[in-house]
Amino acid sequence: MVGKVLGIKDLEQFSSRRSSVYVDPECDKFFELPLFIAASSNDITTKCQCFQFSPGKEPALRSYTEIQQLLQQGKKRDVKNILRENSWPINSPIRAQLWPMLCGQHQTKQQMLDGFYWEMVHQVFGTTELSEKPIMLPAFVDATHCLPYHLTSTGRAVADRIVNVLGYDCPDITYSPLFTLWSWLPVRITMYQPVLLYTTEEHGCSLTTFYVRVEQHEPTLLMIKTCNNEVFGAYCSSRWFERNVKDDKGQRQAYFGTGETFLFSLYPERAKYPWVGIEGDKDLGHSSELFMAADSKMITIGGGEGQAIWMDENIRFGKTDSCKTFNNPPLCPSGDFEIRVLEVYGFVGI
């Protein structure tokens, strides 16, 4: 049986009406793929003109009913985790069912999808027809994060138009480099809500206060803004309390932390500097494992022929050098910096 080709006019509404849709990355058509139940109730075969899948057991993934019940119970965090952990096939009916339900969670205006959106499309573009010309995206969009996710050229144009309308209706939206930083975090950490633990603007410039508010949290995210407006920092994988842990000889360990620790720069340059050992090299030496160090007088991140980040006990002055642990350049051009703001974030629920 041949799949039915949907017209372009129906593209933006298909997900709320179609039970099963396959997107061919090489084609601007959406194919509806009916399901044929074989002799055994566990065998499912899907056929279309271009593709044929072998019968197999349906994967044990969460159902639409389960997710719907969680939303009705207000358990949105559980729903988020399910969406991250379940990889439904691209032609699974649940995708078409979930889309309108999840959109409804963000709907605050009556008839927004049916009325307001199309009014805005006509206001911005002068027509509701999809243009064949590329659509210019708003300034808050970072082009490096516009991933296609198997969209066809038509699907991409639809997505660009939605973002353009959003930017027109909400002119206060601005690009935040935090989106870039979030994409650099370990995947498991992105499932948790960040919380501001310490900021010099509210809690004062004191290393003692820093430890009181931060030291029991793992991991933490340090972000420094200098008086020259440079923005950089580090993802610190271990608790700062570990500065007090003693070895078998009763000596405090000078450095602690793990290879998940990394440095980053957000302004003027955007870059991530992971641990040099992340590639699996074995003969890197002790200097490649100098992740974190701290005492009552200073904080250090990165070591070996230089310190990537060093801050004094008053959290006012610091310096940055190249170091062997992260193979990074100095995170600001001058090397020495004066701290305008230090912010430290933790993650709720870890």
Going from N- to C-terminal start, the domains of the chain cover 1-104, 107-175, 178-348
User: Residue 312: how many CA atoms within 13 Å on its side-chain side?
Assistant: 9
Give per-residue pLDDT as tens, 21-73: 333 444 433 333 333 333 333 443 333 433 343 444 444 688 999 989 998 89
**Greatest mean pLDDT among 115-124, 126-135, 163-172, 333-342:** 333-342
Q: What is the pLDDT of residue 327?
A: 92
Q: What is the pLDDT of residue 48?
A: 40
**What is the Cα gyration radius of the chain?**
26
Query: For 165-190, what is the mean pLDDT?
Result: 80
Rounded Cα distance, 81 and 103, in Å: 17
Give per-residue pLDDT as tens, 288-301: 789 999 999 999 99
Percent of the chain topping pLDDT 90: 35
Q: What is the pLDDT of residue 280?
A: 65
Q: What is the pLDDT of residue 238?
A: 94
Residue whose C-alpha is closest to residue 32's, from 46, 44, 42: 46
Residue identified by tokens 């601005």 is 174
126 pLDDT tier (thresholds 50, 70, 90): confident
Give per-residue pLDDT as tens, 5-18: 444 344 344 344 43
Q: 56-57 and 43-46 as β-strands: parallel, antiparallel, unpaired?
A: antiparallel
Say what the pTM is: 0.54
In this predicted structure, the answer to whether residue 201 has a pLDDT above a threshold of 70 is: yes
Give per-residue pLDDT as tens, 243-280: 888 777 777 778 899 999 999 999 888 899 999 988 76
Q: What is the pLDDT of residue 175?
A: 61
* Cβ neighbours of residue 326 closer than 8 Å, sequence gap 6 or more: 262, 263, 273, 274, 275, 276, 302, 308
In this predicted structure, the answer to whether residue 307 has a pLDDT above a threshold of 90 is: yes
The partner residues of 235 in beta bridges, in order of sequence, read 221, 262
Give per-residue pLDDT as tens, 147-159: 776 778 888 888 8
Residue 294's SS3 state is strand
Torsion of CA 330, 186, 266, 171, to 10 degrees: 180
134 versus 143: which is more confidently predicted? 134
